[in-house]
Structure 1
């Protein structure tokens, strides 16, 4: 194990799983550590690194003093630069090739530290899905913290999955496995000015995340349900939202929503959910989206897709009182009814009240002396900077 010398910055290598919903929280944590005095090396896969350069600009990953970006190969053959990576193939490839690639990167960083380019690596912060990093950390005797990006209840569910297999509850009979992928998209800047033109609490925000896919029929039902609700809405529609084909809406739908509906491929979600015009969120219940809606005080309609999203949906709807669930077999009448209830019904008002209570709790947690504030300090003082 390498310890920082007197006056030398501790050096954390942060490596997220290569998907938008994992990169975002890891980047936030890396920024916090940088603010606390750490030198940061933020590691993406080559595919993600190149996508970020295309979406954010050629100099977006140049870094700052003591905050630099690096990359490792994901082991997959070269593909269309804008294609969605297949998650099962990506996970299998990282399991097979990730250890050697990450080990080589750490050894390179060690050599650069000996040349005085940067401080020696003193700790690793890895996404919980990137299990190979633990082996590299043990080999090179570098302390590691595993950062689990989904919800706590979702993590507990994953820890019990082995028991479901052992007891014969899964795999389910006739279970169909669908390959899904996650992309990174350029944020479209027109969303916030458009929201500025709307009344407070009047707009429904719709975003199913970076990985969810649906059928053309489901897309059409969501579209006409939103249109028939007569409520203004901002809908994020990725080009690959529809499985195996482009997401195309009928011309008559576009005509129907003129002036009250905005369709874009990606946006600054945190800023959108904080905007005064947002009154509700139709979401896939990913943990980032769930946290951001809670922090914004925004009630939700949940349409979970996979992983622990069903668990997040249950907590939003049953435990926290901020959500309503829509059936997987989505119908336009149900979409219309739930949107109307969310935006103008009595249940929607109660959900909004509960969401504002959760917003206050979230703000309290990140203030000086709050639980999240203290936990970050403990992570640094008791783990990442520990010399025991």
Structure 2
């Protein structure tokens, strides 16, 4: 849609779950609704992992007390932490919303848009009589699997059993049991209970917004539309509405020196390696990755986030002289400006954990993927990348250096590599078309803006 500014004179309140992969799409959505439709934007956020207001001077930011201790926020159990946030933020959120709704000198509030993981917010919105729209920051295909959890448990697929890993999940082709989402938590039942609660509260909302596009996930979106009986709005890819890096959403500072290193590399020769903002690996896994990259003889840009190696600060386990001995083929940074990296002509493949943001960004730039999923929706995303869209290959869990070397060669050279590259370039074109006038995401955004304005009129 053009910048019609129908939303001018109306305010939206949005709230992210405080993790990088959730903050980024929510702030992108806020920016879309502000620039394309003219809504004024208020962001409610926890003190933990709070976004930087200086990156968005045109938004209003309201921190709320989350009651989290340093010990609690330092945990590697992101699921337990998200559950705590739902419990601790309910009352501070209600107080904050009540204050914002009573501000007569501000634009009237049309609705509250919140990350699906903050399931507690539906009850709060009901109490303050504010319409609630949900943002699903992951893909539709993985959400369809989450929505099927009760049936999967009933049929014995959940909890996942080692002996059944290769068994097909009959109602969810092409998934096998090993592709089903899991989350290793200190509280074994928490993942199942959490997912069911999120789905239940989503169904009570006024609609779900998706950072995906119809041509990528048409089947899953159609099934969810039938099951949820509420409007769904696939208006992604969010990041393609803007120039790369136009507003920073990163909690870590990207090292932009890697772009000048990429400038010295040959076209489509570099393997970009990044496992996101939460994944942690052992020292043994780290060393196998290092030697697999070195032995592949391909140039590589490797994001090694401080703390990603359990028990190490940063690169201490790396053998002395590793980068020097690789003949200058490697560049290691603590964090990278990923959108810029994936756009760079030197990038030939992306070795990723298959978080949804990374998967979508790779599709949009036509970069084939090597998939190493770890938890949550990543295994479903990886299965779709390798077996449905056929735009990448999967590495099995904790691969050795030999398998890593072989997989890199498979994706960078030969007939299969050309086929995969052709497939992802077709998807890239579809991602571009869906945002142009008359495209699927363009039309769904128009519908979303109309729905928000009707919610406001019915609530007033």
Q: TM-score, normalised by structure 1?
A: 0.88
Q: Give runs of aligned pairs for residues 258-337 of structure 1, distance below 5 A.
A: 258-337=327-406
1:17 match: 17
1:338 and 1:105 map into 2 onto residues whose CA distance is 51
Deviations 1:253-312 (A, max 9, x none): 222235221111111111111111111000111111110000000001100011111111
2:251 and 2:365 map into 1 onto residues whose CA distance is 23
- Does structure 2 retain, via aligned residues, the 8 Å contact 1:143–1:384? no
1:298 and 1:177 map into 2 onto residues whose CA distance is 30
Distance change >3 Å, CA 84–CA 203, structure 1 → 2:
farther
Q: Secondary structure at the match of 1:187?
A: coil
Deviations 1:345-364 (A, max 9, x none): 22111111111111000000
Matched, 1:177 2:177: no
2:157 and 2:302 map into 1 onto residues whose CA distance is 37
Q: TM-score, normalised by structure 2?
A: 0.75
1:130 match: 118
Distance change >3 Å, CA 80–CA 257, structure 1 → 2:
farther
Deviations 1:147-201 (A, max 9, x none): 111110110111111233344433346999356xxx9311112121221221211
2:285 and 2:453 map into 1 onto residues whose CA distance is 46
- Quote the RMSD (CA, aligned, Å): 2.4
1:87 match: 78
Picking from 223, 227, 237, the partner of 2:304 is 237
Which stretch of the first structure deviates more once superposed, 118-127 or 318-327?
118-127
- Does structure 2 retain, via aligned residues, the 8 Å contact 1:11–1:39? yes
1:195 and 1:163 map into 2 onto residues whose CA distance is 48
2:183 and 2:13 map into 1 onto residues whose CA distance is 37
Distance change >3 Å, CA 309–CA 8, structure 1 → 2:
closer
1:45 match: 46
Distance change >3 Å, CA 153–CA 176, structure 1 → 2:
closer
1:26 and 1:317 map into 2 onto residues whose CA distance is 27
Distance change >3 Å, CA 351–CA 134, structure 1 → 2:
same
Q: Could you tell me which runs of 5 or more consecutive residues in structure 2 were left unpaired when the two chains were aligned.
A: 1-5, 163-181, 187-249
Picking from 313, 317, 322, the partner of 1:246 is 313
- Does structure 2 retain, via aligned residues, the 8 Å contact 1:323–1:351? yes
Q: CA deviation at 1:328?
A: 0.3
Aligned length: 368
2:154 and 2:269 map into 1 onto residues whose CA distance is 49
Deviations 1:182-221 (A, max 9, x none): x931111212122122121111110111111111111111
2:320 and 2:45 map into 1 onto residues whose CA distance is 39
1:85 and 1:68 map into 2 onto residues whose CA distance is 31
Q: CA deviation at 1:223?
A: 0.8
Distance change >3 Å, CA 7–CA 93, structure 1 → 2:
closer
- Does structure 1 retain, via aligned residues, the 8 Å contact 2:48–2:68? no
2:449 and 2:389 map into 1 onto residues whose CA distance is 31
Q: Secondary structure at the match of 1:123?
A: strand
- Does structure 1 retain, via aligned residues, the 8 Å contact 2:77–2:185? no
2:76 and 2:107 map into 1 onto residues whose CA distance is 34
1:188 match: 255
1:74 match: 66
